[in-house]
Structure 1
């Protein structure tokens, strides 16, 4: 479904990603790991067309993404949840969810019920402003907003950052359900390697903008973490 070969991505003249290659099959779950500053967020932003320039090959559903503007990528079914969530604080939960529906090809403005099944707190707080929610609740809202567009693939950047442990466990359960039961393709950037090991089919480890290691999710062992990720 999503494939990159020889991918370079730039901010200004500086290549942040260099010769990156990976692939994600439909219904797959890819974890992206690495130390801070190695290009993980840049990779997701490149998929969404949010860097200054990208070269090489990057395709989604067999169609090249590099010539597409960001709104067209969203319309093609790519949903992106950035680090920091970017919930609109003055909008209610309902309004935030409705914002996520604008890329839908069917033009539906009826919030899908499965979002409230996955995140019951959103139904309870449907008329509460996004800025009044806790960090964990905002993360649930951000994921719900992305799901409202009925995506083919979900890109998540550090969803467990600053989240209380019980919500992290809930997010893990939701990610597994979305992927395994609903067949949603997921690409996850995450510092929590246990979370990646528990949820992802495969992982790619970035170092200085390049792929340093790849493998099955269960192969993201403590030895790998000590070798590549320990400070």
Structure 2
């Protein structure tokens, strides 16, 4: 689905990502984790195109189509290919209704789209009854649901979630884990998850990538993410 090879990124003179490799396989959930300030969100912003990459490649692979190096394409093309992103800040329109938020996202992803996919309200049934309520009037967890629903209305192939459990209640975190597994299992969606909550990672992820000072210091199946490995690289 997506292959990163030897990606390097700089903020001015500061070298942030160092020859980073990452492979996202179709239909799997891959988690990027690491202590704060180790390059996780920078990596996401490079993949989505919001930050420039100094060197390396980010290759989009889709069955039946030739590989495409995203570094040669504008940011808006990534959404058209099937990439969707939920930032930490959620970025919903607070003065617009739930349904208006979804409609805007739908049109942004596909100008010919006419209706919100059924799967969105299937996954978030509470949003249907609140569809005429303004986004800014929703409780915190409902705003997070709306941000996720906005990302899904375009029916993406790759969903990127940047710390979706941050500031959320335990009930929503439990529900979110079930939603992620359902997206993998029932809809075949590929997910890149940036997260630090280990219990959540072990529940939902298939694979992990552990960053330390912008380097990929460990990766593999999530079963290999044991306490000793975490303590070695994430201890305060």
Structure 2 partner of 1:68: 73
Structure 1 partner of 2:16: 16
Shift of 1:87: 1.1
Structure 2 partner of 1:132: 137
How high is the TM-score relative to the length of structure 1? 0.96
Shift of 1:106: 7.0
For structure 2, the 5+ residue unaligned runs are 62-66
Q: In terms of mean alpha carbon deviation, does 95-104 or 72-81 score higher?
A: 95-104
Q: Is the 8 A contact 1:8 1:56 kept in 2?
A: yes
Report SS of the residue matched to 2:8: strand
Structure 2 partner of 1:5: 5
RMSD over equivalenced CA pairs, Å: 1.3
Aligned length: 231
Task: State the Cα deviation string for residues 11-37 of structure 1 (Å, max 9, x = none).
Answer: 334332110001111112110000001
Q: Is the 8 A contact 1:198 1:217 kept in 2?
A: no
Are 2:50 and 1:45 aligned? no
Q: Is the 8 A contact 1:11 1:53 kept in 2?
A: no
How high is the TM-score relative to the length of structure 2? 0.94
Q: In terms of mean alpha carbon deviation, does 147-156 or 13-22 score higher?
A: 13-22
Q: Is the 8 A contact 2:7 2:53 kept in 1?
A: no
Shift of 1:99: 1.8
Structure 2 partner of 1:198: 203
CA–CA distance in structure 1, aligned partners of residues 108 and 132 of structure 2? 23
Show structure 1 runs of 4+ deviating over 6 A.
Answer: none
Are 2:233 and 1:228 aligned? yes
